[in-house]
Structure 1
Amino acid sequence: MSLDLLWTALALMLVIEGLLPLLQPARWRALFQRMTALSDGQIRFVGLASVAFGLIGLLLLR
């Protein structure tokens, strides 16, 4: 894997992550406040699910 591909993936992630606060800042703020109320275990599960779906997506694309 080239370093250019890694930087491209990071840039695309930042674009996607920035869409909700750009387009609907009030909804993003409410979602962020609800996320801060979650326990550590719940946040870890969200992280695990994100990693799992990302890996599955990568496997399906390759």
Structure 2
Amino acid sequence: MNTTIWMALALVLVLEGLGPMFLPRIWRRMILAMAQMPDRLLHRFGGGLVVAGVVIYYMVSVHAS
């Protein structure tokens, strides 16, 4: 895999770890609220995140060349 992809994955892991590390109560409430959301809403939210990620990746890769 490309080094950039590994660096991006590492950054995601760091950012994901900051929530439970520094704001455990808020993070726990957010997870509980998400667990109560309907599946359809979670699917749309996840799809939106995937689309946003692909768009950002495309924009960065086009401008880097």
TM class by shorter-chain length? 0.7 to 0.9
Q: Which runs of no fewer than 5 residues in structure 1 stay unpaired?
A: none
Q: Quick one: percent identity of the two aligned structures? A: 33
TM-score, with normalisation over the residues of structure 1?
Answer: 0.84
Residue deviations 1:8-60 (CA, integer Å, cap 9, x gap): 22221110111111111100000000000011111101110110111111111
User: Does the residue aligned with 2:59 lie in a helix, a strand or coil?
Assistant: helix
Question: In the alignment, what sits opposite 1:42?
Answer: 41
In structure 2, the partner of 1:26 is 25
Instruction: Measure, in 1, the Cα distance between the counterparts of 2:4 and 2:56.
Output: 16
RMSD: 1.4
What residue number does 2:8 align with?
Answer: 9
SS across alignment from 1:38: coil
| Structure 1 segments (4+ residues) deviating >3 Å | none
2:58 match: 59
State the TM-score, normalized to the length of structure 2: 0.81
